[in-house]
Structure 1
């Protein structure tokens, strides 16, 4: 017999032994699964999403790289919550209120805020606070304005009586915005309010002892004559403290 015969026989025996070992390992029953809370237990849902092939080698060995890693712990305290909106210290907003015929102006100075709604026949003044980016204003008879101040806009709701309107008011710069004037005319108290938008839209109302009277709308910040008296509009910084 040639020398190659014993060598081939030996190799065939080794292959057969390896195949049997592999077969016996593959046929081992799975480990019991009931009642365990071990962190090493795999999540079937997570494994179903993992397209990586199963590592080769002994079935009793586990590849540490293939083991799912514990997720990073969620930070506690305020760091895990969304950052609050930055406080608005000084800003003026104005817009047309859709669904109504009126305009709305809002001004914030520090933590104090005021607003004015007017459609030429109906007007309402509001005052309140602006804290942490949240605006809360109250008016006469339960009227109110609530809004969130962020990204250069005031987004919220205006309510007067049974009517409610949503609004989005961008910031505006002078000469746009809110103006007001007060005066004594023949012993009666005159109060006027005006709102101007950047596109030229404007509205105003004038009351004399609480009764609405007809009056022209002046150019922003310019004096006007009402009932024979010269009335000079004031911007928000001049009358904020009076409300």
Structure 2
């Protein structure tokens, strides 16, 4: 495969033809923020956080889907980019709950980490939020649509990796949700409850159903002999 030579933040990079600007930046050791990107699985540019400046382009481009070309000049850390990324993140946060301290992903949340890295301290766009729906109909997984950032990572891993394909983007615009067809619950579709959607979710929108209290009750019951099994997924 032929090589493409480009310059990112004054660093010369040589990479295979067909690679993206994000791939080239990673090879050069340059970090570009992402939220929807899953290496080798999903590159759809929906989060808009990986914006870069490309010389000759009249607008900012999403680096995860923009292909490299010979002689390309790319900037990843300018005042315009920092402000654009901050604005995008503030818009995402404007439709996201702020109860981080009680969230299952507190201190292990990609959205929270990005807010800290980009210096987002206040929500500049308060207003109506999406309707809350919690699906706890099955014994394994809880879906909380209020916390969903519509990154579609769970959709990609369900379809492309597991080959099950039980969740999709539903409806359009402000009413968009990620759910099984016809907004059914997970118990009503052939979900295997493998948990891979939980693994790739960047926030607390999909998480494991806990039975900690029941386990402690069983452990403390002198009449019971307790055996614990964990899922390999």
| TM-score normalised over the length of structure 1 | 0.20
Which structure features the higher share of strand residues? 1
RCO comparison, higher one (Cα < 8 Å, 6+): 2
Larger Rg belongs to:
1
| TM-score normalised over the length of structure 2 | 0.20
